[in-house]
Structure 1
Amino acid sequence: MPQFTFSVTEQLIPNQDYTDKKKQLRIHVDNMRADDDEFYALINNIIVGEDQKGKIIDAMKKETTARKDRDESIYTDVISKINKAVNSFNEQVADMKKQRLSVTYEDKTE
């Protein structure tokens, strides 16, 4: 008797969307960014607000601006990586909820 096999991929468990995790992770980044903004505002008030002048003050302004720009770049990179990580996690979980099934049967009509 001839045997036949067919294979299918079935989703055994419904998919769940984890994009809400992005928001939860971004909250922490936003909190760090707010703390940094407050810190840089304090530094700026001390340097500029008190009308300080001189080479040391100019160097401090330059270093503060460079550090703030670098920190902002890091935050942007972290947000991008959060998005990629959560998207990848979504895909991995969805793949694990699927199962490849093979069915073999005999044709007894002959």
Structure 2
Amino acid sequence: MGEHHSITITEQLLESEDFMYKRGVLQQYHHSLGSLDAALHALVHNIIVGENQKGEVVEAMQQETRSYMMRNQLLLNQLGNRVTRSVAALDDQIDDRKSQQLTLTYENTPSG
């Protein structure tokens, strides 16, 4: 009886594919959120400043609106970064699934 040997190889089962185009769809939503936020800020600003409103309440509303806009902008920036990282991670995960590790076991029998 011969000796048993094993060899492990990684085989690419499917071709790699770039999924970074998926980022565009998510970025459209990101852009829409930014546009909606800017429109809300402009509307509030026009109501307060456009009608020449004055006083402590108006100033507090303006400050709160600016603060809200800045928080939203920070969140949108984080979202943009996360979209890029998430799509890149998805791309890597899909590529990893397209290859498979195979272990071949064979018996080395003397010829004779």
Q: Distance in 2 between matches of 1:2 and 1:43?
A: 81
Mark the runs of 5 or more structure 2 residues left unpaired by the alignment.
none
The percentage of aligned residue pairs carrying the same residue is 30
Report the equivalent of 2:109: 108
Q: Distance in 2 between matches of 1:32 and 1:2?
A: 66
One-letter amino acid of the structure 1 residue matched with residue 67 of structure 2: A
**Equivalent position SS for 1:63:** helix
Q: Distance in 1 between matches of 2:37 and 2:106?
A: 67
Report the equivalent of 1:9: 10
Mean Cα deviation higher: 76-85 or 51-60: 76-85
Mean Cα deviation higher: 83-92 or 24-33: 83-92
Aligned Cα root-mean-square deviation (Å): 1.4
1:27-83 Cα offsets, whole Å, 9 max, x none, are 011112111111111211222222221001100010000000011111111112211
TM-score normalised according to structure 2 size: 0.89
Report the equivalent of 2:77: 76
Q: Distance in 1 between matches of 2:49 and 2:13?
A: 63
Please state how far the C-alpha of 1:109 moved relative to its aligned partner.
4.3
Q: Distance in 2 between matches of 1:99 and 1:61?
A: 59
* Count of equivalent residues: 110
Report the equivalent of 2:19: 18
Mark the runs of 5 or more structure 1 residues left unpaired by the alignment.
none
**Equivalent position SS for 2:75:** helix
Correspondence list, 1:53-92, <5 A: 53-92=54-93
4+ runs deviating over 6 angstroms: none
Mean Cα deviation higher: 43-52 or 58-67: 43-52
